[in-house]
Amino acid sequence: MNNTIGIGNFYVWRESDDEKLPDVSFIPPMVRRRMTDLQKIAIGVAHHVAPADANYQVVFASRFGEWGQTIKLITQFHNDKEMSPAGFSNSVHNAAAGAFSVLTQNKNSYTSIAAGARTLESGIMAALGTKKPVLFVFVEEKSPEMYEPFLDAPVAAHAMAFMLTDDASRKIVWNATANKEPPLTFDAMADFLEQGGKITTMSWKITDK
């Protein structure tokens, strides 16, 4: 399979000492207070690239998802033998995608993906194969301290968003392939968005046209 697709606006964000979360002041305060950090990060980066007309498909991807919220629920259940229904609704893997759809009043379908170490490339593959225009968002929140002994390294919060659309001036060619490649890294995809070139993964390749 060989396709030429336009890649439009993109935004790459990384946690820093000065910015623990993206700017989400555009979200109404009552709504913002009910959101988790992961939702704020995802919607914050999506806001930078999403069209105003809200007529597009959406693919969200996160390897770890709402692990901070999940720890809160497990701790609450351990201590109180019950869970908050509101807390549970914020712990599911598609919570950020659902919150974004409600906020933007986007009635198109969305997909939420987790695929272990290959989540980023799997999410992009889903976006490449989705009817255009499509918004892709990848997001991870900071790793909870109790998880860090089981990780290769602590995870800092990071996220990216970009639009795939037929009418963008920047064109990429993508091919479905089968390769023995290591998982796609966030930094490698960020470099491609910012500088161009090519990316090869286990199941696809994209090249600037």
Residue boundaries of the structural domains of the chain: 9-170
Q: What is the pLDDT of residue 70?
A: 77
Class of domain 9-170: alpha beta
- pLDDT-derived band at 26 (thresholds 50, 70, 90) equals very high
pLDDT digits (tens, 9 = 90+) for 29-47: 989 988 999 999 999 999 9
pLDDT digits (tens, 9 = 90+) for 67-97: 888 777 777 766 777 766 666 667 677 888 9
Whose CA is closest to 148, among 87, 75, 68? 68
**pTM tops 0.85:** yes
For the chain, give me the number of helices (H) and strands (E)?
7, 8
Q: Show the beta-strand stretches assigned E in 15-86.
A: 57-61
Name the one residue in this structure whose structure tokens are 């409600």. Answer: 102
Strand partners, 117: none
Residue 193 tokens read as 């968005």
